[in-house]
Amino acid sequence: MPGAMQLSEAIARYLKQLSEVRLASEHTISNYRRDLTRFIEHSGDIAIEDVSRDHVQGWMVAGYGQGLSPVTLARRLSALRGLLDAALRAGWCKKNVASGIRPPKQPKRLPRTLPPEQTSQMMHATDSSAEARDLAIFAVMYGCGLRVSEAVGLNLQDVSLGAAELRVFGKGKKERVVPIPDGVISLIESYMEERDSSSPETALFLNLRGGRLTARSVQRMVKKRALETGADISVTPHRLRHSFATHLLAGGVDLRAIQELLGHSSLGTTERYTHLDMAKLTEVYDLAHPRARRKS
């Protein structure tokens, strides 16, 4: 159709809208860009008006044939639906042909956690050249339940040690205030004594060159720390966040309070930890209770 907008241009405009208007995270935009580029590779750079239901279903079937997981396929479909919704509102197409297509059923997965003794082990001293900083950021992620992106996104003005509070910007730049436990405060104070006060960088956590620490660097640091302290090397920053939530729930903290601390927009997301706690309780029961299992 003459004058119709091509897929590549529609995708570029949509990703710009996600970034500038909806304030989506860089991680989300990167995933959507990759997924929508894959759709162009499948369908060709056709006009967005010409995208059909057959194109979408064929793309999903091809992904299934490549062995992609249900999670990846569902994300792909979500990215395409979002694009076509935006295109429909902007008048670039007349119908969202992906709206009636269901994503593949996904298995329920409980978040993995670390037992408290493992997190304690990771606090043991290592030979890191930035030991005070590494301890502080590890403690902030586990002690305050922050995502790694939120931890590296902290600026100096977001930290109030006197009030024992952190101002955190989560997904969609949504702001929340998180309390800082006493032990975390002392580790931040120790780090601040070593932090380069002459650096013009506003970030709380600096790399060795004086710039903002990246999420990837923190992920590597956590793995290295686990290896050096003899802790579980499958640990990740997000697993620390899951552990924070699970340990609070086990300690009797209200689920609504945990939702606020984690910055979840939906209580349903937080309720995963209820299932996790019950799963652990059932495991302990099966191992310990004399009537839990039938005698062979």
Q: Give the helix, strand, coil percentages of the chain, each rounded to 5.
A: 60, 5, 35
Are the C-beta atoms of residues 11 and 29 closer than 8 Å to each other? no
For 128-231, where are the E strands, in sequence order? 159-160, 165-169, 175-179
Annotated catalytic residue, options 76, 241, 242, 247: 241
Pick the closest to residue 110 from 250, 257, 235, 275 (CA basis): 275
Annotated catalytic residue, options 55, 133, 147, 239: 147
- Give catalytic status of residue 27 as yes or no: no
* Cα–Cα dist 110/58, whole Å: 31
Q: Is 206 exposed, middle or buried (0-12, 13-18, 19+ CB in 10 A)?
A: middle
* Cα–Cα dist 200/156, whole Å: 11
Q: Rounded to 5 degrees, what are φ and ψ at 43?
A: -95, -20
Print burial letters for 123-138: b (CB count within 10 Å at least 16), e (below 16): beebeeebebbbbbbb
Here the tokens at position 63 are 């992904």
Q: Which helix (H) or strand (E) holds 76?
A: helix 70-90
- Give catalytic status of residue 285 as yes or no: no
- Give catalytic status of residue 95 as yes or no: no
* Cα–Cα dist 138/15, whole Å: 32
Annotated catalytic residue, options 13, 38, 238, 280: 238
Annotated catalytic residue, options 81, 112, 167, 171: 171
- Give catalytic status of residue 102 as yes or no: no
Annotated catalytic residue, options 81, 176, 224, 264: 264
- Give catalytic status of residue 256 as yes or no: no
- Give catalytic status of residue 142 as yes or no: no
The residues annotated with a catalytic role in the active site are 147, 171, 238, 241, 264, 273
